[in-house]
Structure 1
Amino acid sequence: MATGSEQLKVMQELAKGFEQTHPGAHINLLPGTSSYEQDIRVRLAGRNPPDIWNTHGWSRDRYANFLEPLNNQPWASRLNSLMDISMRTNGGEFYALPLDVAVTGIVYNQDVLQRAGVDARSINSWDDFDRACRAVTANGDSCIGAAGKETWTGGNLLDYTAPGMFTQAQLDALQQGDFEDAPFRKMADMVSGWARSKFFNVDYVSATNDDVARSVALNKIAFVFQSNGFVQTAQQYNPQVNLGFIAFPSDTGEQYLVSGEDYALGVAKDSPRKQLALEFLDYLAEPGNMERFTAVTNNASAFKDVKPTLGMMESSYDYWVTQKHTQAIPIFDRVYLPNGMWSTMTTTADGLISGQIDPAQAVSQISTSFVSLYRKKA
């Protein structure tokens, strides 16, 4: 949760509420930074983990040995099944409280598309997306927003588009450690083509994600590959910005949405304050508190008894999820790639967008990292 974000503000309010009902307790909230993942690694290596930390999608596959299992907590039976594939073990254990569930598509600015004569819901293939981008750029706007100063925004491009490049057999092979070049090459060719066609914001190299959000809010960028929480950031610059999302095109099957934990909190199993930390998670899991948090993420809830507040994304959610029953696929790198690949995905995407590497080099980079990390896993 970044400094100044609506999510952090609500979490601070919830922490104060907990402190008021638990005399002597103090929750010290530390905002996330660009080095968050590395900071956690260092603290774990030094056997000095935080009492509670945001597991950013890796509660089971990276942090399980350091976290307290939560399946016996009083709220565990209220969880729905949305997160089972990416958070639970085969034995049913899970290690983090999911504060929300990201049901993610391609976020779009309706006003930018309307100016360019593009109907967002007519984008059913990547060829359709390419034509939409050409219409947007011909109109003087940028098609895709990403931030070179925060390379995870580019990493999302690969992570979110990847599922539609692979057949199920190829996905199964990945999980067995068999790397296949062709789907990754197709993905790299596409992103490189977008860069050559100048679909990205012109300030990509120097841009932060706040810069991207500002440009989207000011109706200068058509699409971003981010979760619905992006809406809150854009609305800080223009409360009237008109955003929605569409499902991802697929080259191997039906269109899809990406689903996974966005914010999730785990408790260090060896924390001297473990009981208090678990009580804080119990407090957060109360329906009223979960509703307060999902209201600032524009995401679905992991709880059966919590109605999400999706804000301006409500109509998109209703269309793609409720009406069309669009399939939801787990976040690619968390299920199909070995631990540590996310860093390679972000640097590779950055290289493709900035033109520092070509698609062949991108595939080689990903392949080398995959083989090395899979061997470590084995």
Structure 2
Amino acid sequence: MTRLVLLLVLALVGCSTAPKSDVVKLRFLSLAWQKDSVAVNKQIVAEWNRTHPKVQVEYVPGSWDSIHDQLLTSFAGGEAADVIHNSSDDLSEFAHGGYLADLTTLLPPGLKADIPEATWETTRFKQGVYGVPFLQEPKVILANRALLTQAGVRVPTPDKPWSWDEFAEITKKLTKDTSGDGKTDQYGFAWPMKQPVSTMLNLALNFDGKFFYPHDGKLLATVGPAEREVLQRVHAQLHTDGSAAPGALGMSGSDSLPGFFAGKYAMVFLGLSYRQQMRQQAPKGFDWVTLPPLSGTGPEQGVSPQTLSISEDSPHKREAMEFIDYLVNPANTARLALGDWMLPTSTKAMAAPELNVEQFGWNVGVAAGASLRTSPSQRVRGYAEWKDKIATPAFQQYFRNQISIDELSRKLTEDGNRVLARYQR
């Protein structure tokens, strides 16, 4: 019996003196999807792991199509990654729900100073900061240069963009029956709006339309003259002028590219990142050009930057922030922007020479960055349900000419505010 006790004691001593791993392990959920972007993200993670042996990062791929539901599940199950890639308009519910860490005291001074204060506002909730905004994407016009030249239209510049009125006249001029069969086979424009809500809300800022206004301490939907401006102009192109392709309405941005390459529409409204697909997929000899955003009372448009957050349940918040600071330092942010064909939020990265060139319209994108503002949806609790259950089907019905602008307004406000009220009691 004594020998057995001695053996047990020795075994326990051996366990207590065995070396313990002091390597911190972090999981980084990344939503990068374009080939170049995935490669750059993985390269930066590998570089971090080589130079930080005590803090190792695992790259975990995710999908923009399912990120909201994925996070709901992972938070509820206590399985969330330490560092989470998302967009600022999806942070509100997670921040208010206590699932994301407040980064206020974790942010390094250099990182905080390099991103404009107005951009930090996109991730500020409850007097806290719940994400680091690092990439942003203006919407631009991609055009068939040959068709513009043939029509003799003025090519806009960042200093002198098209007004909405000039744009309407140009799209009519570019709309043609090229075969002579009495049917339009070349439209002036395509609005790919499989997901129309964020597009219309962000463009409304062209006319200072905000869609959500404070009422008795709540942010509720309101559709006034400013909000109707862009909606009615797009509707007129579709159903009055016939200058916008109705078949493009249900398309995603990628879906619209084959028709654009085939000359079915002279121009298409897309995010800046689609230039990468243009470069990769455009037929040989297809001459395309990036045109600046339109201007109403001003050129402003809304944006919801891509963000990096830290899970509240992460036991390694300090190390997670050190990794984020490395991932989005100015040099790396410029690499990420090039890989995603988007714009950095970093002031220093925005000045990178490789982003300020005319090739592929980078200079047009950088100029558009100065007019980006916080998306109207940013601080609206309940926005995701309002968008999915009310606004998306209502916008689709309106642009298909199935309901009037007044009925659209009623749905967004009366029906929509009943949804929002549940979140803002």
Superposition TM-score tier, normalisation by shorter sequence: 0.7 to 0.9
- Superposition pairs for residues 237-256 of structure 1, below 5 Å? 237-238=281-282, 241-250=287-296, 254-256=297-299
Aligned partners of 1:337 and 1:213: how far apart in 2? 34
User: More deviation in 213-222 or 345-354?
Assistant: 213-222
Letter in 1 for 2:336: F
Equivalent position to 2:173, from 105, 128, 135: 135
**1:155–1:349: 8 Å Cα contact kept in structure 2?**
yes
- Superposition pairs for residues 126-165 of structure 1, below 5 Å? 126-138=164-176, 140-147=185-192, 151-152=194-195, 154-165=196-207
Aligned partners of 2:170 and 2:381: how far apart in 1? 31
**1:142–1:201: 8 Å Cα contact kept in structure 2?**
yes
Aligned partners of 1:38 and 1:143: how far apart in 2? 38
The alpha-carbon deviation at position 292 of structure 1 amounts to 0.5
State the match for 1:79 in structure 2: 115
1:305 is paired with a residue of what secondary structure?
helix
Equivalent position to 1:67, from 81, 100, 117: 100
**1:60–1:94: 8 Å Cα contact kept in structure 2?**
no
- For residues 253-289 of structure 1, the C-alpha deviation after alignment (integer angstroms, 9 at most, x for no partner) is x322325343211111212454553333122022221
Aligned partners of 1:277 and 1:372: how far apart in 2? 36
Equivalent position to 1:53, from 68, 84, 100: 84
Unaligned stretches of 5+ residues in structure 1: none
Aligned partners of 1:223 and 1:369: how far apart in 2? 33
The alpha-carbon deviation at position 373 of structure 1 amounts to 0.8
State the match for 1:108 in structure 2: 142
State the match for 1:14 in structure 2: 44
Aligned partners of 1:227 and 1:134: how far apart in 2? 23
**2:142–2:267: 8 Å Cα contact kept in structure 1?**
yes
The alpha-carbon deviation at position 216 of structure 1 amounts to 3.9
Aligned partners of 1:227 and 1:208: how far apart in 2? 11
State the match for 1:352 in structure 2: 398
- Shift in alpha-carbon separation, 1:163–1:220, aligned structure 2, 3 A: same
State the match for 2:60 in structure 1: 29
Aligned partners of 1:199 and 1:5: how far apart in 2? 35
**1:142–1:199: 8 Å Cα contact kept in structure 2?**
yes
**2:141–2:290: 8 Å Cα contact kept in structure 1?**
yes
Letter in 2 for 1:100: L
The alpha-carbon deviation at position 58 of structure 1 amounts to 3.0
- For residues 276-333 of structure 1, the C-alpha deviation after alignment (integer angstroms, 9 at most, x for no partner) is 5333312202222111011234444322332341553334257667xxxx74432222
Letter in 2 for 1:313: G
Q: CA RMSD in A?
A: 3.5
- Shift in alpha-carbon separation, 1:3–1:319, aligned structure 2, 3 A: closer
- Shift in alpha-carbon separation, 1:106–1:305, aligned structure 2, 3 A: closer
Aligned partners of 1:259 and 1:189: how far apart in 2? 19
Letter in 1 for 2:321: L
State the match for 2:275 in structure 1: 231
1:161 is paired with a residue of what secondary structure?
helix
State the match for 2:3 in structure 1: none
**2:220–2:420: 8 Å Cα contact kept in structure 1?**
no
- Shift in alpha-carbon separation, 1:147–1:166, aligned structure 2, 3 A: closer
State the match for 1:39 in structure 2: 70
**2:67–2:86: 8 Å Cα contact kept in structure 1?**
no
User: More deviation in 47-56 or 18-27?
Assistant: 18-27
Does 2:134 correspond to 1:95? no
**1:294–1:301: 8 Å Cα contact kept in structure 2?**
yes
* Identical positions, percent: 15
**1:191–1:352: 8 Å Cα contact kept in structure 2?**
no
- Shift in alpha-carbon separation, 1:146–1:29, aligned structure 2, 3 A: farther
Answer 1 or 2: which has greater strand percent: 2
Does 2:380 correspond to 1:330? no
- Shift in alpha-carbon separation, 1:277–1:348, aligned structure 2, 3 A: farther
TM-score, structure 1 length as denominator?
0.80
Aligned partners of 2:148 and 2:331: how far apart in 1? 37
Q: How many residues align?
A: 365
